[in-house]
Amino acid sequence: MEWQTSADTAPSSFITEAQARSLLGKPAASGAWKESDPAGDRQFAGIGAFAFESGESLPFVRIAYESWGTLSPARDNAVLVLHALTGDSHAVGAAGPGHPTPGWWQGIVGPGLAIDTDRFFVVAPNMLGGCQGTTGPASIAPDGTEWGPRFPFTSIRDQVNAQAAFADAIGIDRWAAVVGGSMGGMQALEWAVSYPDRVERLAVIAAPPLTTADQIALNSVQIEAVRTDPKFNAGLYYDAGDGEGPHQGLALARRMALLNYRSPSELNERFERTWQSEISPLGAGGRFAVESYLDFHGNKFTRRFDANSYLTLVQAMNSHDVGRGRGGVAAALSAVTARTLVVGIDSDRLFPLEGQRLIARHLPSTIDGDAPVVIESDFGHDGFLIENSMVSEQLRRLFAG
């Protein structure tokens, strides 16, 4: 999921000089948020010891989150917004100290917007295993070193169970809505199945009921791109100097992922066969514009993310199967009681419409019967981050009831 900045949606197909300058200097071994960094808009809630599905446990887990709006006296207007794979709690707000990128859903969450902070108390946590303040592989273990590869295998259900404990910690018994796109949509769906009495409304956007073999295959090559970087050092790289971390492997994984987030038509129309500079890419050492675009965003990503966290979260995506241990997808979804909106994107090649159709077909209470709403967009999977007006229109329908 999964990225959107002003530069990503600019009409130009070329990497600007200012963008190139932003990557000057060697990146740190990990782009994870550290205790010594500014907190920015983050708040923190401890949930104590935490047991994972695998049987492993951590002695203490902390959830980083941001919130907007005011909680009602009855505590019945809270909305949980769940981010995608490489997102974080910063759904709204400018880039600045503690926040390397601007809010990823600026056009959706806010006063008078689809998720109206004049009406709702909106909460966005960084997911378990993340690297932007919530406990994850880059967090410090009791022995004074990072958890690193010792961090337990983390499933989507683990992440939702941690979010439920977090809700308890901040005093939310029932969410007026749980909303998520992409990996956040996986978690939103799991919320409604695992905790039906705690979810009044549900929005599942550009997410599947389970991760398919094809999607696991796409994820597997990203995992290997990171692991085969010699500087990954089996996940023990946190003491490496600037420029000595697993940046090449992480950047390559990111470039692979980006190809699934946008549609072929959008890339073809945006870049065509243009060159990045006057130097020909046909044997003269130049670059096609699309190559430079992928390189820029891969390299930029390494400055705000952690390699071990990326592996943890991608493997969590692979774990997703809402029907696992519940008699299958149809049986699991039949337990959902929330008023539900299911949204798919026609050009999404990461999580195609087939998945959203399966979800909608088996949910008892969708606002559109047994079919998802289909957004027509050239932006592929990333349409849920970019097509603000169309996504807003659908969310307003959910919140109208």
Question: 67, 182, 194, 309: which is the annotated catalytic residue?
Answer: 182
Please answer whether residues 69 and 122 qualify as being in contact, where contact means their C-beta atoms are separated by less than 8 angstroms.
yes
Q: How many CA atoms lie within 13 A of 52 on its CB side?
A: 20
Smallest Cα–Cα separation from 254: which of 220, 301, 218, 207?
A: 301
Q: Choose the catalytic residue: 83, 90, 320, 381.
A: 381
Dihedral sign from CA coordinates of 217, 220, 222, 225 = negative
Catalytic-residue membership of 57: no
- In this structure, are strands 115-116 and 57-68 parallel, antiparallel, or unpaired? unpaired
Residue 197 per-residue DSSP state:
G
Q: Is 171 left (phi over 0), alpha (psi -120 to 50) or beta?
A: left
Instruction: Name 144's Cβ contacts closer than 8 Å, sequence gap at least 6.
Output: none
Annotation marks residue 381 as catalytic: yes
Around Cβ 23, how many Cβ atoms within 10 Å?
Answer: 15
**Residue 322 and residue 183 in contact, taking contact as beta carbons nearer than 8 Å:** no
Query: Two tokens at 285?
Result: 């050492």
- Alpha-helix runs per DSSP H in 304-387: 307-319, 329-333, 353-362, 383-386
CA gap 12, 32 in Å, rounded: 30
- What is the 3-class SS of 175-227, one letter each residue? ECEEEEECHHHHHHHHHHHHCHHHECEEEEECCCCECCHHHHHHHHHHHHHHH
Report d(CA 147, CA 132) in Å as an integer. 15
What's the burial of 226, exposed, middle or buried (CB within 10 Å: 0-12/13-18/19+)?
buried
Residue 278 belongs to what H/E stretch?
none
Q: Specify the residue for token string 């949606």.
A: 9
Rounded-to-integer distance, Cα 249 and Cα 226, Å: 4
CA distances from 35 to 123, 159, 312 (A): 22, 22, 21
**First and final CA of the chain: distance in angstroms?**
29
3-class secondary structure, 4: coil
Select from 68, 114, 113 the least CA-distant residue to 90.
68
Active site residue 182: yes
Q: Which of 348, 377, 378, 382 is catalytic?
A: 348
| Residues acting as catalytic residues | 182, 348, 381
